[in-house]
Structure formats: C-alpha cells, structure tokens
Amino acid sequence: MSKEYDIIIIGGGPAGLSAGIYASRARLRTLLIEKGMFGGLIANAELVENYPGFPEGISGFDIGERMYQQASRFGLETISAEVTSVDPLKDIKTIITSEGNFSARAIIIASGAERKRLGVPGEEMFINRGVSYCATCDGALFKDRIVAVVGGGDSAIEEALFLTRFASKVIIVHRRNQLRASKMAQERALSNKKLEFLWDTIVEEIKGNNKVSELVVRNVKTGETSKIVVDGVFVYVGQIPNTSFLKGQIPLDKEGYILTDDRMGTQIKGVYAAGDIRKNSSRQVITAAGDGATAAISAEKFLSS
C-alpha cells in the first residue's frame, strides 16, 4: 500500500526545493524525492554571482542548503531514493522508487539534467583518472598540472577560471571561434594569463596509461589532427535531461525535455515540470526557482479545483 500525498516533487535542485517551499507553505502534504545531493548541478558551483540578494556571491552548495532548510521549516518531507517510473494518468498518481511506492494527486517533475559526455574513445576509461565533470570537486587534484577544459559556455569558462587556482595552465578547447559565455566571464577568461585557447577544435580521443596523458584534437575547419599533453580534462559541453524514467508516460521532445505551458503544466492533468528538465529552460538557478514556484502555485490551484 503506497503512502499518499497532495504533491510529490521529483528532484531536489533549485526548482524542486522552491516548489517544496511554496507547496509546504500552502499547507499541502508534500514529499520531495531526491536520489543525490540537494541543490542539483548548481551545488558543484564554487561561486554564483548572479543570484539576487547576494552581492558578494554565494556558493552553489549554500544555495541548495539554504533552500532545503527553508523548505523543511515549512514541513516539507524528503526521502533519498531513485525514481524508476511513474504512473501519471489516473487521478491518484503513483511514483515507483527504489524505496517503495508513493502516491499523490499532483506531481512536479524537477529531476534536472546531468552533464553531457563527449562520447569519444578513452572518456569512459579515464573517468576519475583524469576525466572529470566537476572542477570544484576535482580541481585541487591538479595542482601545478596542465589541464584542458572542453566547452565555451558559462559553465566551461567559470570552471576554467576556478581551475587556474591550482593548475599551471588551463587549455580551453572550443569547437567555435568565439566563446558563448557571458561577456563578464569572457573578459575574465581572455585576460587570465593561465588560460590558453584552442579555437575551432574538438576532442577526438583521450589517451593515457593509468591516467590521462594527452588529447587527440581536430581542427574543424582544416581537418588537421594534433596531440596536446595534459594531465586532466574537464568536460562542459551541455546537458542531458534526466527523463529516462518518464519515457512512454510523459510527452517529451526529441531531446528528452518535457513540454510545458506557461504555468508549468504538461499535457497530463495534475502533472507539472520545472527547471532544467523543461523544454526551453534558461538553465539558470533563478529561473529554475521561478519555475518551481509557478509549478507549485499551479498544482495548488489544480488541487483546490
């Protein structure tokens, strides 16, 4: 027999925690299910400078922790479990998890996204042996070493700048001839003497013996391949939505993102989505929090009707 709630939230990042704050404060019996760390991907960010109310910046971990404490104060229940599937079509919806089944009249899906992998030879082999997706987690392991960062967006540049605290040199490998990061991040990167740039370049292979020792790269304009000597490589080439447990149950776009309206509603009555999981999300912590608040308000109106 599953335990029944008013709302079940899947995911404990900024979107899920914000939804938890609004739903619990509305006196709705709410359960949040998270399989990992509260805060989601932002928890790995050493410094978030664009979240309102923190003029000196705040760590991503602290954002997640403060949101969690705030939601808990209003009575949000949480459980550490992995959601394996959902049955969303009935009035009482069922969520199947590694810790048992739970039921609710409304669901908010905020399971976020994970770092996309390069998909090149050697990548899987050298994970935790020079290949990383989290500079904050692993940067200190590369003191006075040479590392590469693959990508040109905000995450790639912010993490590359963080790595300059430890590494002797950081080589940014980017498939385009200019960065996609914000202007402020670009200015910092281009003026940092520890950063070097390989433009119009992609990684073809990651090589080494017991650990990473070099990258095989290719210039996308000339087709010329070459090798660069590095001790590690940090990958920031986009995200993949965590929606594998929803396939066949919730309408998704071709990339696996959830389709929503402007009230965060899906095509299934009583099912909402918020944050990075949603098609056309801005993938910013502040918009994820806004999505979560909107989803909870919409769910509350649905339940009261």
Which residue pairs from 258-266 have beta carbons closer than 8 angstroms and sit at least 24 positions apart in sequence? 258/109, 263/294, 263/295, 263/298, 264/108, 264/291, 264/294, 264/295, 264/298, 265/298, 266/109
Q: How far is CA 283 from CA 108, 121, 166, 276, 288, in A?
A: 17, 29, 28, 5, 7
Among 6, 62, 134, 154, which one carries the catalytic annotation? 134
Give the whole-angstrom CA distance, residue 174 versus residue 151.
5
Give the whole-angstrom CA distance, residue 199 versus residue 41.
27
For residue 15, give both structure tokens. Answer: 């979107």
Among 6, 62, 87, 137, which one carries the catalytic annotation? 137
Q: What is the dihedral of CA 100, 104, 110, 111, to 10 degrees?
A: 20
Secondary structure class of 129 (helix, strand, coil): coil
Q: What is the dihedral of CA 121, 125, 127, 128, to 10 degrees?
A: -150
Residue 231 catalytic? no
For residue 8, give both structure tokens. Answer: 């079940």
The answer to whether 237 and 118 have CB atoms below 8 angstroms apart is yes
Q: How far is CA 39 from CA 49, 69, 300, in A?
A: 16, 11, 23
Residue 134 catalytic? yes
Q: How far is CA 106 from CA 20, 102, 167, 210, 241, in A?
A: 13, 12, 48, 49, 21
The dihedral through the CA atoms of 250, 251, 252, 258 has a sign that is negative
Q: Name the nearest CA neighbour of 87 among 2, 194, 192, 202.
A: 2
Residue 137 catalytic? yes
Among 6, 91, 138, 262, which one carries the catalytic annotation? 138
| Active site amino acids | 134, 137-138
